[in-house]
Structure 1
Amino acid sequence: MRKGLRSTNEVNSHFGLNLEPSSYEVFIPSHMNELIQKEGLEGIHAKQFLPSNLENSDDGLEDPIGDQQKYVAPQLIHRYDNRALFTPTTICPVICRYCFRKNELSSKHEIFKADFEKVISYLSVHTEINEIIFSGGDPFMLSASKIKFYLEEFSKLSHIQFIRFHTRTPISLPKYICDEFIEVIHKFNNRFNDINVVIHINHIQEITTDAMDCIKKLGARFSLLSQSVLLKDVNNNVRDLKDLFLKLHALNIRPYYLHHPDQAKGAMHFYLSIEEGREIYRKLRREIPGWLLPQYILDSPDGSGKKNL
C-alpha cells in the first residue's frame, strides 16, 4: 500500500508515459504495478487501472446508478424494499478507472460521511430490511475490529438476517486479507442466516496465485459469488468471459452478476452499446451451461435498481 502509485505524475514517471493530470484519484498498489509491467501497457491490468486522457471527457453521468436518489442516511442507500447498501469506507485496494462511483468518491460526496447512529436509527424503523450489503469503497479494506463492530451492531437487529460483502480486494490486494479478518467475520455465521462474499473480477488473468490462495481461504468459510463488468477492450468477447466463468466455477465461485457498463462520467471509453452486450451474452449462452451464466444486468440511472438485459 505504501509503495503504490498515487498520482498521474508518479504513473508517468514509473511507466514512461506522458499523461495529462487526471480529475480523479489514482492508486495502484505495488504488486499491481509489477503485473502491469509484466503484461505491458496493452494488458488487462493496464487497461483497467492506469489513468487515461480520455477520463477528462465531460461525457457521461456524475451519478449513473442514482445512488443520490436513494441515499436515506449517512453511508446507507435503500434501493430495494428488503435490502440496504452500507458504504462504510471510501478506500479501495486499487482505483478502477471504470468505477461507477468515481465521481462521488473523488468529490468525497456526503453519501459517504459517517454517522452510524443514523444508520442504526433508520434500520431500526425499517424492519422490512433483512439484508445488509457492505459496499463502498471496499469493505474488505476495513480493519478486523471495525468489521466486528459493524456486524455486532447489525446482529442486534433481529430482522437483519443476511450479510453480503462486495469486494475486489481478494483479486486486487489478496495478501491484505489476513486470517484474523476472515475469522472475525466467520464468528458471526451463527448470528445471521447467511454471510456471502461477492468478489469483483473481470478477467481470468486477474486470478493470480496469491488471489487463488485468498479465494480458497474465503471459500472454506463463506459462500462465494462473483460480479463482473463488461468492459470495452477488456473482456467484451465470448472467449474471455467463457474462460473467466469456467475458472470461477473451478474455484467454487458462482457467477452472479455480469454488469453492463454504467454511463459514468470519466469512464465512457469503457462503454459499449446494449445491443453489443446482448449479442455477446446470447453467444455466451451457447458456450457454457445455463446454470453457469450470471445475470446480465443494467443499473438504472433513476436509482430504481437493476434490470435484466
Structure 2
Amino acid sequence: MDWREELKNNVTNVDELKKYVTLSAEEEADMRRIVDNHPMNIPRYYLDLVDTGNPQDPIRKMCVPEADELIVAGAMGETTGDPYGDDKHDKGNGILHKYSYTALVVATEYCSMYCRHCFRKRMVGLPNEQTVQNFRGAARYIAEHPEITNVVISGGDPFLLPNEVLRPMLDALRGIPHLNYVRIGSRAPVVFPMRFFDEELLELLADFNQHKALYVPTHFNHPNEMTPVARQAVQNLRSAGITVNNQAVFLRGVNDDEDTLVELMNGLLRMGVSPYYLYQCMPVSRVRHHFQVPLKEGIDIIDRARRRMDGYAKRFKFILGHDIGKLEVCGRIDDKVFFKQLHARPGHREEASRMLVRQLTDSGGWLDDLPEVEI
C-alpha cells in the first residue's frame, strides 16, 4: 500500500464521517461549526479502532470533534492559543529556540490525523507562518549557535513529509559537530503506522543514525492504540536502530484512571518503547474544558497507578509544559503540590532546578490557577 495514496482516503468532512459514526442532528450541526475552525482529518485505519457502539469511546474522543470544542471559557479558568509560548521564541525559518540547548524546527503544519486535544490546535492543519520554507536556513541558524546540543524536528508531523524532503533535512544536520542527537516527533506510529513499512524511509533513518543518534518520541495515549500494526511499526523503527520514547497526554475520558495508565505503561514496555513523559493537558482554547483533569484529582490517580508499576514502567515524569519551562509534578502533601522546574528560558538560568509550591484547588489544572504558598 502506498502511504501517500492511503492518506487521500482520510475522513475530512462530516458527510464522510457519517458513514462510520452515527450522529444526532444536534451533533452534526455542532460538528459542522467546529470543523470550520479546527479541521478534521482521520485516517481510516484509526477510525476503524473506534467502538461505534460507545459514544464515550476513548479513541473516538481523540479523533472525532465534539460539541465541547465550542467552549472557549468556563469553570476551569482561562484558555490560550499558545500555552507553551511558542510565538515568543520564534527565530524564523520555523525555528523555536526556547531553551538554549534545544532548537525545535516546525517542519510542516500537516499531520496524518488532527488530534482533538492538540496543543498547537490554532495552527495545525491551517496555513501559517511557522512552516519551514527553507530548512537550510534553519540548519544555518543551528550551526551558528554552538550552545544547541539537540534538535527536535516537529510540526505537524515530519514523517508525513516525503522521503525526498526528509533526506535533505537530515543531511543538513548530519555534519553539525555540536549536535549530540536529533529527535523527530511523530504520532504517525500510533495513528498512521503504515508509514513505517516504507523500506526507503527506514534505510534513510538507519543511515542517519549511524552518524548521529536519532530518537523518535511518539504519542500513545491509550492501550487500544497498541494494535499489531502499530507494534510492528515500532519494531521496524527499533530494527533500524532508532530509540523510541513515548510522550502521552493525561486526558479526561481517555486515560484518567489507574487501570488504563498501568496497562498503557506496561504495554509500551512490551513494545520496547520507553515511557518518558505524561503531560498535563494544556489550557488550550477549545481543549481545556473537556480534556483537562484538575491537578488535585490527577496527582492521586497517577500515584495510585504508579504503586502498581515496576521500576521501568514508572520512570515517566508527570509534566507541565509551561511558558516558563517544563515543570515536573513531583506530588502533593495534603493540599500543597510540589513542582520541580526542569528547564528554564534563556536569561532565567537561575530558575532551572528550582522547586515551586502551590496550593491545590478542586478545579485548578494549571500552575497559573494555583495560589502561591509557603512551606
Fold agreement, TM-score > 0.5:
yes
Match of 1:231 in 2: 251
Q: Which amino acid aligns with 1:298?
A: L
Q: Is 1:292 the equivalent of 2:313?
A: yes
Question: Please, which runs of 5 or more residues in structure 2 have no aligned partner?
Answer: 1-6, 74-78, 330-375
| Maintained 8 Å contact 2:107/2:158 | yes
Deviation at 1:143, TM superposition (A): 1.4
| Maintained 8 Å contact 1:258/1:295 | yes
| Maintained 8 Å contact 1:68/1:111 | no
Q: Which of 10, 18, 26 is equivalent to 2:16?
A: 10
Deviation at 1:40, TM superposition (A): 3.8
Output the CA distance in 1 between the equivalents of 2:325 and 2:21. Answer: 39
| Maintained 8 Å contact 1:61/1:264 | yes
Deviation at 1:74, TM superposition (A): 2.3
Q: Which of 219, 223, 226 is equivalent to 1:200?
A: 219
Q: Once superposed, which parts of structure 1, at least 4 consecutive aligned residues long, lie more than 6 Å away? A: none
Output the CA distance in 1 between the equivalents of 2:125 and 2:83. Answer: 15
Output the CA distance in 2 between the equivalents of 1:100 and 1:276. Answer: 21
Q: Which amino acid aligns with 2:59?
A: H
Q: Which of 228, 240, 262 is equivalent to 2:282?
A: 262
Q: Residue 103 of structure 1 aligns to a residue in which SS? A: coil
Output the CA distance in 1 between the equivalents of 2:67 and 2:117. Answer: 13
Output the CA distance in 2 between the equivalents of 1:82 and 1:118. Answer: 18
What is the CA RMSD across the aligned residues, in angstroms?
A: 1.6
Match of 2:272 in 1: 252
Output the CA distance in 2 between the equivalents of 1:190 and 1:106. Answer: 33
Match of 1:179 in 2: 199
Match of 1:190 in 2: 210
Output the CA distance in 2 between the equivalents of 1:198 and 1:271. Answer: 22
Q: Which of 141, 155, 173 is equivalent to 2:174?
A: 155
Question: Please, which runs of 5 or more residues in structure 1 have no aligned partner?
Answer: none
Output the CA distance in 2 between the equivalents of 1:266 and 1:162. Answer: 35
Deviation at 1:8, TM superposition (A): 3.2
Q: Deviations over 1:6-42 (max 9, x none)?
A: 1234324542313322120100111222222556432
Structure 1 residues 56 and 38: CA distance shift in structure 2, 3 A: closer
Output the CA distance in 2 between the equivalents of 1:176 and 1:190. Answer: 21
Match of 1:112 in 2: 131
Deviation at 1:283, TM superposition (A): 1.4
Q: Deviations over 1:151-176 (max 9, x none)?
A: 10111222122011211111101112
Output the CA distance in 2 between the equivalents of 1:37 and 1:243. Answer: 19
Output the CA distance in 2 between the equivalents of 1:153 and 1:226. Answer: 26
Calculate the TM-score normalised by the size of structure 1.
0.94
| Maintained 8 Å contact 1:147/1:185 | no
Larger radius of gyration: 2
Output the CA distance in 1 between the equivalents of 2:151 and 2:136. Answer: 16
Structure 1 residues 207 and 38: CA distance shift in structure 2, 3 A: farther
Count of aligned pairs: 306
Which range moved further: 39-48 or 129-138? Answer: 39-48
Q: Which has the higher contact order (CA 8 A, sep 6+)?
A: 1
Q: Deviations over 1:67-123 (max 9, x none)?
A: 111111221111111111111111112110000001122553312252324312321
Calculate the TM-score normalised by the size of structure 2.
0.78
Q: Is 1:70 the equivalent of 2:89?
A: yes
